[in-house]
Homo-oligomer: A and B are copies of this chain.
Amino acid sequence: MNKPKILAFAGSHRKESLNKKLAFAAAEMARDAGAEVTFVDLKDYPMPLYDGDYEDENGVPDTTKQLFDLMLAHDGLLIACPEYNSSITPLLKNTIDWLSRLRHDGKPLAAFAGKTAALLSASPGALGGLRGLVHVRSILGNIQVHVIPQQNALGNANDAFADDGSISDTSAKARVESVVTTLVETTKKLNS
């Protein structure tokens, strides 16, 4: 069969974002595990804060449509999201909410329904952003994404990455790899 297609991105687009680094490192692992992977930076898909009046006047932003088309062209999502006040980032929630306004072939939630997803998180602290993933998981599940039960929160992430972008610590790396490999395998099976 064809390679499963994975779209990888982070819920933050700060230049030095630890979660962007993590999504990037995980994307490489997904390639090694046999997937075709596209890494995107949400910086390149700027959208205004969702507002019904804005949508009524201007429609859905072009950046939303571009990301929507990318979502349609992929089978699974690899998302690294920081925890802001114990929950999802406004950036990721805003992106999801805009994407949920578009249909494909008349089908609602076409960007999400039936996709697989794996969740990762990185943070400078010890917990690694674990609590934020609870809300991200719940939101994605409610829009029909098959979020795999495995996830990983990478703590002390300021020191986690080598110069080439890979995860230095062997056991931390293995934990992320295990999540990523499971995503690739699950996506392969569910799309067979």
* Chain A contact patch, size range: 35 or more
Question: Does more than half of chain A's interface fall in helix, strand or loop, or is it mixed?
Answer: mixed
Copies in the complex: 4
Could you tell me which A residues sit within 8 Å of B by CB distance?
A: 12-15, 17, 49-53, 84-91, 93-94, 96-97, 100, 126-127, 131, 134-135, 137-150, 186, 189-190, 192
Instruction: Jot down 23 A-B pairs with beta carbons below 8 A, ordered by A.
Output: A12-B52, A13-B51, A14-B51, A14-B52, A15-B53, A17-B52, A49-B90, A49-B94, A50-B90, A85-B142, A86-B138, A87-B93, A89-B93, A89-B97, A90-B93, A90-B97, A134-B138, A138-B138, A141-B147, A143-B149, A189-B192, A190-B190, A192-B192
Contacts of A148 in B (CB 8 A): 146
Contacts of A139 in B (CB 8 A): 85-87
Kindly report which residue of chain B lies nearest to residue A92, judged by CB atoms: B90
Contact call B93/A88, Cβ cutoff below 8 A? yes
Contacts of A140 in B (CB 8 A): 149
Contact call B137/A141, Cβ cutoff below 8 A? yes
Contact call B141/A89, Cβ cutoff below 8 A? no
